Amino acid sequence: MLTGIAERSNAIEECYEFMLAYAAQGLPSEEGSPSGGRLREFLGRAGEALSGLAESCAAAVKEEGFERPERYRAFFAVLDRDACDSLAAIELVLAQPAVSSQLIDNLNASIHLRALLTDLFLLAEIFKTQRNWAQRAVAAEGSSAIAADEAPRSTV
């Protein structure tokens, strides 16, 4: 489940990075540009990744057995708003007959998209930390079980 969230996050981050490069080209539209044809693909993948993102994160927290999952609910509401706002902006851009570098530069500057990226960075760090703690706990439990099965050692 966390892998799926990482894939969604990567699609969104890759789109953002592609848009930064596209914005720097100073193009009046995507027509005639090799990167122009790819722009709509990146935006489409990001849009797909945004749909249901908060619900996927909530399901992952539950499935992974994170402690105190109720503490995540308020943040997932924020994530959902940021994802919906970002998706609305992306869909608006995709609805345009021509997408200039300036339009993409304005999308990149959108507070909605920046907030979403910050949300994703925060979650990535939390998920990484949670996974590390879970791995340590499993290792510790394994060590305790092995120690409990060992015969007492002589101290003589």
* All residues at 6 or more sequence positions from 69 whose CB lies less than 8 Å from its CB, including other chains: 58, 61, 62
CA dihedral 149, 154, 155, 156 (to 10 degrees): 180
Q: CB–CB of 15/67 below 8 Å? A: no
| pTM to 2 decimal places | 0.84
- Residue-wise pLDDT for 14-65, tens only, equals 999 999 999 999 999 999 888 888 999 999 999 999 999 999 999 999 998 8
- Residue-wise pLDDT for 83-105, tens only, equals 999 999 999 999 999 999 999 99
Q: How many residues does the chain have?
A: 156
Show me where the domains of the chain are located.
Answer: 2-120
- For residue 86, the SS3 value is helix
Strand intervals (E) in the chain: none
